[in-house]
Amino acid sequence: MIDISIIIVSWNVAELLRSCLLSIHRSPVYIVQPDKDVPTEINQLSVEIIVVDSHSNDNTLEMLHEFSNVLVIAQKENLGFAKCNNIGLQIARGRYLFLLNPDTELVGNVLNTLIAYLDQHSNVGIAGPHLTDAAGKLQKVPRRFPKFIITLFDTPSLQAHLPRWLLSRYAIINPIKDACTPVEWVLGAALIIRQETFQDIGPLDEKYPMYSEEIDWCMRATQHGWSIECVGIGQVVHHGGKSSEQIPLVRHTYYWQSTLRFFQKYYKQYAILLRFCVILSYLHVLCFEFGHVLMSKNSKKKNDARMKIKIYRKALVALITHPYKLVV
């Protein structure tokens, strides 16, 4: 049986995807050819790579011809993160399933490290390595599921005023290198789930527009008795947000539709109140940006304000009319 299936969803990030795939090929693993079994004489960690391309219009599909041992599933439309990952998950054959963003690069022996740790800790259903930036600096680690207060401080008008003490309750701001830490969820940029856990909790919820899918998955795993861990002895470089940067006009919309859906599912008593607070926050920042347009003499500030107004207004309309589902 294949040890690990790596599933990568790609959208218009050909060069980053190439770097990601090359980092896998540099790893001390045996990469299984599509539709082939692991040869009996192989004693390395066996890996299959599945790339689900969500209708890229750059040279992604042409670039993928460089990698004959990668299974490519090209979609005829942009189906989104959750649905594309589920397409890969349905055909994955590994004991472990590794969701990996195309804007990541594996560091050293991280695949063997993760599998060895999970093989020794059968109670851990989902895990993630430490993520670093390109310079090797550790990124903060999620600690707890988002609750009402921390999410309130994520609204546009309060984001800059988040108290550090509150952030530290929900995230590990300064992770300790090589530390393995129980957490409530891990980032979907590099998330590994054992096959038994996947069969237990099912696929990603495709009703999330773009964000929060991994939080929902970890919540369901926790409800089924599985533990979640950040395995800091393994590291992955995460360049961050390269696909979402291509859709600045709807990032706010997707983020809050996903967040409100999560609250509607798990903290229903706070969902309406949170929605009301988010709408008020967008009204507040819209008034602030309109003030820039009317009063500022700086043309760059005016243009920036006009762009923000366009983004905020789109998010506000979506939050009023369709708060829990994808509307673009």
Q: How does pLDDT run across 26-71, given as a tens digit for each residue?
A: 999 999 999 899 988 888 999 999 999 999 999 999 999 999 999 9
CA distance 245 to 97: 26
State the pLDDT confidence band at 292, using cuts at 50, 70 and 90: confident
State the pLDDT confidence band at 326, using cuts at 50, 70 and 90: very low
**Distance from CA of residue 284 to its chain's centroid?**
29
Q: How does pLDDT run across 254-263, given as a tens digit for each residue?
A: 899 999 999 9
pLDDT at residue 327 in the model: 38
CA distance 119 to 70: 25
Q: How does pLDDT run across 188-202, given as a tens digit for each residue?
A: 999 999 999 999 999
**What is the pLDDT averaged over residues 142-162?**
93
What are the residues facing 74 on neighbouring strands? 53
At a CB cut-off of 8 Å and minimum separation 6, what does 150 contact?
Answer: 162, 166, 167, 169, 170
The residue ranges of every structural domain in the chain are 4-139+175-241, 245-321
> In this predicted model, which residue has the larger pLDDT, 292 or 174?
174
pLDDT at residue 303 in the model: 87
pLDDT at residue 83 in the model: 95
**What is the pLDDT averaged over residues 123-138?**
95
CA distance 106 to 238: 9
Q: Is 122 exposed, middle or buried (0-12, 13-18, 19+ CB in 10 A)?
A: exposed
pLDDT at residue 243 in the model: 60
Token representation of residue 55: 């209708």
> Three-state SS string across 134-176, please?
CCCCECCEECCCCCHHHHHCCCCCCHHHCCHHHHHHHEECCCC
User: Yes or no: is domain 4-139+175-241 CATH 3.40.50.720?
Assistant: no
**What is the pLDDT averaged over residues 259-283?**
94
Single-letter code of the amino acid located at 313: R
State the pLDDT confidence band at 90, using cuts at 50, 70 and 90: very high
pLDDT at residue 210 in the model: 83
* Residue 1 reports pLDDT greater than 50: yes
**What is the pLDDT averaged over residues 5-31?**
96
CA distance 310 to 328: 13
CA distance 8 to 24: 12
Task: Name the residue with tokens 């393994």.
Answer: 234
**What is the pLDDT averaged over residues 112-133?**
97
pTM score: 0.92
